[in-house]
Amino acid sequence: MTEAETSHRRPNRSFVIREGRFTPAQKKAFEQYWPNYGIATDELQALELQQYFTAVQPLVLDIGFGAGDSLLSLAQQRPDLNFVGIEVYRPGIGAVMQRLHQQEIHNVRLINADVVPLLENCIASASITGLLVWFPDPWPKKRHHKRRLIRPNFIDQAQRILGPEGVLHLASDWQPYVIDMQEQLAAYPELKRLTGDTHPLAIKRPDTRFQQRGLRLGHELSDLIYLRKSLN
């Protein structure tokens, strides 16, 4: 195997699972509500995600949901969709679970895992309707570009797990990363770039603190939306 092939296949860990600093409320919420909202994972075992929801509905993955404002807004916008949030920061997961309980939101479940191995080993092909990656870490220094999430190993899996007419929605305020993502996705003809104001999942991307920070810094916000072509 060549060095390039090895690099292509090597797991792309743009972050690591970390405990962080739990506040007492976050720790209590994590322990109390994980049985209701959490999905335990094994990187070598497939998941049947629908079994964790009370209603069988199309599945949308929200990768790196952070404080959870967008995830909760989406779940309220589209109660006819099931959302699975994937995040490595456990205190944030605890805080989001507490809000899910308080707001009585039933169409969200959460996973604490590194996303690329999770997609590779646990998510079935053509099983996902939407895949959202909003404001991923741009790793701006050139020597850190290999840590970026949107790389071939991720895109390979995104293309595999999206069903026909499935949607990949990326957003960033770091234009060099936007250009890089566009160039990477250009190598995947099965993913068709969409333009226009109508979102194929009929959702509105909520404002986030990352978006507001980018605007304050004078950054341009970009949304890249791709449609998975029919699996003929």
Q: Give the per-residue pLDDT at 45.
A: 85
* Bigger pLDDT: 141 vs 232: 141
pLDDT of 102-146, one tens digit each?
999 999 999 999 999 999 999 999 999 999 999 999 999 999 999
Mean pLDDT (the chain, rounded): 88
Query: What is the value of pTM for the model shown?
Result: 0.88
Mean pLDDT of 70-80: 96
Confidence band (pLDDT; 50, 70, 90) for 3?
A: very low
Residues sharing a CB contact under 8 Å with residue 70, sequence separation 6 or more, in sequence order: 62, 134, 205, 206, 208
Question: What does the alpha-carbon distance between residue 136 and residue 172 come to, in Å, rounded to a whole number?
Answer: 7
Mean pLDDT of 150-155: 96
Question: What does the alpha-carbon distance between residue 183 and residue 131 come to, in Å, rounded to a whole number?
Answer: 19
pLDDT at 1 over 70: no
Residues 108 and 77: beta-carbon distance below 8 Å: no
Confidence band (pLDDT; 50, 70, 90) for 12?
A: very low
Burial tier of 86 (Cβ tally within 10 Å: 0-12, 13-18, 19+) = buried
Helix residue spans in the chain (DSSP H) = 3-9, 24-37, 69-77, 90-103, 115-122, 152-161, 175-185, 209-216
Confidence band (pLDDT; 50, 70, 90) for 76?
A: very high
Question: What does the alpha-carbon distance between residue 73 and residue 145 come to, in Å, rounded to a whole number?
Answer: 31
Question: What does the alpha-carbon distance between residue 87 and residue 113 come to, in Å, rounded to a whole number?
Answer: 6
Catalytic residues: 137
Q: Residue 140's domain spans which residues?
A: 3-228
Q: What percent of the chain has pLDDT over 90?
A: 73
Residues 178 and 222: beta-carbon distance below 8 Å: yes
Residues 211 and 137: beta-carbon distance below 8 Å: no
Find the CATH number of the domain harbouring 118. Answer: 3.40.50.150
Residues 17 and 88: beta-carbon distance below 8 Å: yes
Mean pLDDT of 198-224: 82
Name the domain count of the chain: 1
Q: Give the per-residue pLDDT at 160.
A: 97
Distances (CA, A) of 122 to 46, 157, 217: 4, 11, 38
Confidence band (pLDDT; 50, 70, 90) for 215?
A: low
CB-hemisphere CA count at 13 Å for 159?
18
pLDDT at 90 over 50: yes
